[in-house]
Amino acid sequence: MTAAVGEHPVVLITGAARRVGATIARTLHAAGYDLALHCRHSRVELDALIAELEALRPLSTLALQADLADAERLPELVAATLARFGRLDGLVNNASAFHATPLGTITPAQWDELFAANARAPLFLAQAAAPHLAARRGAIVNLVDIYAERPLAGHSVYCMAKAALVMATRALAVELGPHVRVNAIAPGNVLWSTNEIKAETQATVEQRTTLGRQGSPQEIATAVLFLLRDASYCSGAILPIDGGRLLYV
């Protein structure tokens, strides 16, 4: 049985426990959204975030835990959101996998991992969510990357997976219009990478952005809110939030 439809719009966010995902969650929650928040391994962090948000507005969140590489679990995330809130107004495909794959060392397992998180899961979540989003005239926001537009040395599989998500964004905008808007955000450097091989250095960020600085997770979250709530005549767009990084070689 589906829950009664609540008064607040509802968004499902993947990879919501930490970093950019948690900032997106806090920003949408402050804007009046109820949230279904997904994590893979970061359950301690997710529970802490949910406790924080519940203290501000009780009964406004739902915790979801799943490995997005398990395609059979993806429709369950949408179903659980509907069972809890009775509606779905937005989907934010934020979860990602990122690691280097230097040519000559690439394995099929690395291909599968990077494409599962960055391309396959967003598509199948969108497919499961589509009829429910259409009923609410809702929206999808995908988190892609500036390196979907040009290659990053040593990260070919990651770049290819994010490029696939860019095309999925545009294709879904065609498939799901006019009732569902589908857009993407291509972040530049907003957090220093925890990987040993960093995509950007401080010098690169300062010298190769028009704004001469690193961005912030809040700037990404503000753009997500804009695309979900305010960009009513925007679909199929890839919005770079990169400080002008794409203008440089």
pLDDT in tens, 83-132: 999 999 999 999 999 999 999 999 999 999 999 999 999 999 999 999 99
- Which CATH number is 10-247 given? 3.40.50.720
71/201: higher pLDDT: 71
Residue with the two structure tokens 């501000």: 56
Q: Structure pTM?
A: 0.94
Residue with the two structure tokens 């040395």: 153
CA distance 67 to 140: 20
Quick one: pLDDT at residue 193? 67
- What residues act catalytically? 158
Quick one: pLDDT at residue 191? 86
What is the pLDDT averaged over residues 184-205? 77
Q: What is the mean pLDDT of the chain?
A: 94
Quick one: pLDDT at residue 195? 56
Written in H, E and C, the secondary structure of 102-168 is: CCCCCCHHHHHHHHHHHHHHHHHHHHHHHHHHHHCCCEEEEECCHHHCCCCCCCHHHHHHHHHHHHH
Quick one: pLDDT at residue 1? 45
Residue with the two structure tokens 């912030």: 216
Q: How large a percentage of the chain has pLDDT more than 70?
A: 96
> Which pLDDT tens digit goes with each residue over 122-181?
999 999 999 999 999 999 999 999 999 999 999 999 999 999 999 999 999 999 999 999
Give the pLDDT band (50/70/90) at residue 248. Answer: confident
> Which pLDDT tens digit goes with each residue over 212-238?
999 999 999 999 999 999 999 999 999
Quick one: pLDDT at residue 204? 79
